[in-house]
């Protein structure tokens, strides 16, 4: 919007301005119409029918013009307000460092996907992953390097998710979460093994090369389990990947999933 309307004085000023514009336009249109239709001779005799006809046309023209101008102005303000709200909604659901969904955005999107998958009878696999020894990276190379690592891993995860139709978000800190729809256990494991290799990289910047690896935990969604339950089991699988030496993928088997659920 060109001017912010914050205080009551702003409201009064804005309203007064719109009234002034409406009055000015009405005067100009009335003057122009009367001159063109009735002439400029004030003492000329004009038939009543002509005056009535002219008055009706004048009133209709002014009404249409003012309605159009004000409606256009209101529509523009509503459009800008809608765009602002949409941008605020997007920002509130996006992690600024990685460009991925944040935890709130993921929870909303994943809950909707779970409902759709359940209705379609599709298999769902939950994912939890994090950067190995991230605290040591911050301690050794500094927090700027840590931010570069997060941003780079975010790029890799975002590109992989877009290419493979995987919902991926930053869960918090160095931890990321995801959801795969209509995939089998073996297919999900192969996909995450590929992603694990992609994330095994070096992040350069600030005169240093930071070696990075990630660990992945997978769990299958079962009927009757909600999103938090699914992600807790995926987190258990992630801890097992850490116990096995990191930089690997672990998927909880069916028996363990049934017990955890």
Find the DSSP H helices in the chain: 8-38, 48-92, 103-120, 134-141, 143-164, 185-199, 227-243, 254-260
β-pairing verdict for 214-220 and 249-251: parallel
Domain finish residue from 92, 120, 135: 92
> Within its chain, how far is the Cα of 159 from the centroid?
17
Predicted local confidence at residue 260, as pLDDT: 31
Q: Same structural domain for residues 145 and 200?
A: yes
Question: What's the rounded Cα separation, in Å, for the pair 203 and 223?
Answer: 41
- Asked if residue 186 is part of any domain, the answer here is yes
Residue 98 lies in a domain: no
User: What integer pLDDT is reported at residue 13 of this predicted model?
Assistant: 79
In the residue annotation, 174 being an active-site residue is answered as yes
**Token representation of residue 111:** 């809950």
* Residue 20 lies in domain: 8-92
How many other C-beta atoms can be found within 10 angstroms of the C-beta atom of residue 223? 6
**166 plus 137 within the same structural domain:** yes
Cβ–Cβ under 8 Å, residues 208 and 227? no
Strand partners, 178: 127, 168
- The residue from 174, 175, 186, 256 that is catalytic is 174
Render pLDDT for 50-72 as a digit per residue (tens, 0 to 9): 556 666 666 676 677 767 767 77
CA distance 197 to 100: 20
> Which pTM does this prediction carry?
0.70
114 and 34: one domain?
no
Number of domains comprising the chain? 2
Per-residue pLDDT tens digits for 39-50: 665 665 556 565
What are the tens digits of pLDDT across the range 152-172? 999 999 999 999 999 999 999
Is the predicted pLDDT of residue 222 greater than 90, yes or no?
no
Query: Residue 250 sits in a domain of what CATH number?
Result: 3.30.70.270
The candidate with the shortest Cα–Cα distance to 154, out of 136, 139, 174, is 174
Residue 52 neighbours by CB under 8 Å, 6+ apart = none
Same structural domain, 47 and 113: no
- 118 vs 36 pLDDT, higher one: 118
Say if residue 1's pLDDT is above 50: no
What integer best gives the mean pLDDT of the chain? 83
Q: What is the dihedral of CA 107, 111, 114, 119, to 10 degrees?
A: -170
């Amino acid at each position: 919007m060109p001017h912010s309307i914050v205080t009551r004085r702003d409201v009064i000023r804005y309203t007064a301005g719109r009234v002034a514009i409406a009055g000015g336009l009405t005067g100009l249109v009335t003057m122009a119409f009367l001159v063109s239709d009735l002439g400029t001779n004030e003492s000329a005799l004009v038939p009543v029918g002509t005056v009535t006809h002219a008055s009706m046309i004048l009133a209709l023209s002014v009404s249409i013009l003012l309605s159009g101008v004000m409606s256009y102005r209101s529509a523009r303000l509503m459009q800008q307000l809608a765009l602002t709200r949409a941008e605020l909604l997007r920002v509130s659901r996006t992690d600024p460092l990685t460009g991925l969904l944040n935890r709130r955005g993921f929870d909303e999107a994943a809950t909707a996907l779970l409902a759709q998958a359940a209705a379609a009878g599709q298999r769902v696999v939950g994912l939890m992953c994090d950067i190995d020894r991230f605290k040591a990276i911050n301690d050794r190379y500094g927090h700027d390097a840590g931010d570069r690592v997060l941003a780079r891993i975010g790029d890799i995860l975002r590109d992989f998710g877009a290419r493979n139709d995987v919902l991926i978000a930053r869960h918090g800190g160095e931890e990321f979460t995801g959801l795969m729809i209509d995939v089998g256990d073996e297919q999900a494991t192969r996909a995450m093994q590929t992603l694990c290799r992609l994330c095994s990289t070096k992040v350069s910047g600030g005169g240093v090369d930071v070696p990075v690896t990630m660990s992945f935990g997978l769990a299958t969604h079962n009927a009757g389990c909600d999103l938090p339950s699914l992600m807790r089991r995926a987190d258990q699988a992630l801890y097992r990947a850490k116990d096995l030496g990191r930089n690997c993928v672990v998927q909880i088997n069916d028996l363990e999933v049934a017990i955890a659920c």
